[in-house]
Chain A
Amino acid sequence: MSHADLTMEGHSAGLTAGTPFSMPTKKFAMWLFIIADTMTFAACLVAYGFLRNGTANWPRPFHSITNVAIMTFILLTSSLTMLLGVQAARAGDKAGAFRWTMITAAAGILFAFLHVREWLGLIDEGMTMFKNPWGTGLFGASFFSITGLHLTHVTCGIIALVAVGLRYKGGRYNADDIEVVGLYWHFVDLVWMFVVPLVYLLNLSH
């Protein structure tokens, strides 16, 4: 066996080696992204807690939680519709998978609309990144940073859902891709479960 043969053999063995944890590469990459993104959100939320704890006059601007309750319901429900989409894709129901994926994207758009409406309401009351009528200006910076980061994720998720859904419908993507974008969408939902109590519920005016 020549040196070239040995090299080729080693190379091909590397190429055909199993993926880590026997999962598809795209899915593994998405999990790595999710773990990294968890750290980003966790750092933001811990920093928020640090500031809130260390600031005496922390504002409590939320008189009603109806809006955030509706937003939470929409996001949780969108996770269920995403699951239905993934199950339909696995079952080979192409039309069903596409329909549920688009319903999930529509729920995301509704969530984003309610979020932007809430932002505009707070801005109307005089809140900016650096000042607000209720207390320390740090509140605006941290509120817009955390909810803005989450809203950016939601927006990216909507774009990804539509793009993947259309390509799946067109036959260029398969059930793997629907599942991978689904993982991302569930993660966005999971983060919201921590944003709501820390940023909204803890700042209710009593």
Chain B
Amino acid sequence: MYEANGEKYFVMDGHIHFWDASPANWVQGQEKYAKGWIECFHAYQSLGPPETHWPLEKFQKYSEEDFVHDVFEEGKVDVGVFQPTYLKSWYSTGFNTTEVNARLVEKYPDKLLVNGRWDPRDGEAGLRELEEDAERYGLKGVKLYTAEWRDGSRGWKLTDREAEPFLAKCEELGITNVHVHKGPTIWPLDKDAFDVADVDHVATDHPDLNFIVEHVGLPRIEDFCFMATQEPNVYAGLAVVTGALMHARPRFFAKVMGELLFWVGEDKMLFGSDYAIWEPRWQLDGLMAWDYPDDDYSDYPRWTTTAKKKVFGLNAAKLYGVDVPAELRLPDETPAARDDAQLVEDSA
């Protein structure tokens, strides 16, 4: 639980990792990619405040103690959701797998959830594996990384014919939360790999699934926002927006937050630290203290206490069916909180 200014906030961190990117785990012959990947992440970490930077060696592989300290103790995270990224072409045992994440979930069952994954290129075997994982881990969500390389293939799209059985299987198994992460490569390479149009299609076709677009579609925020306004089951994962912009480029952070609150709205935005790229604490502190820098933003929705409560955890808790202690919920019948009412008066 996070507490500030006499208010208590339920924190659900929708995007955390426990990875091993140490050189010992690099696939022989693929060192260039394994090294490049983790160093790219490490560069992203440097966009946070200097006191939160880690040396590369610790960043490649951190301990369970680090995790518990940074996420639960210092980070005040009530429930964290692991989002796996396998990358087995580059990392021998995988970069951040459901299997490894699940070992931590076993130790902290009330505080952690693990998501599964699937890849349409796995075909029938992949479907069976998804069923097994759903049973074994009690999956409520999956994380899909469309840019993952596999046997000479550099990625896939949700609209690929092979993906449909997996989406149907998610519905069947009650895996309702589909987190989508766009990356830099996708076949064919002459198309825009970050294009979110495929999410739009499948969100329409699968109204019972929730599609959480990680990193709000960065670097295609505009396409993401236009889509999210039209699709009731599309959500914005804030990971990277806060981590990369709030400290390093506060002016752009304000613009992006304003646009997200306007187009997507506070009911569909989910906090995610992207730990261990960035620790949750400074991001929560920053979001708590944040407001628009000047009057240029007067026609954007306000960042109220109610909005913070939803984005910090209540929205994600709803998606994952997590029970929130009564004192941390919003008052039931929502006559808007006082600051919301204030806004209505102001803008009237």
The answer on A and B forming one complex is no
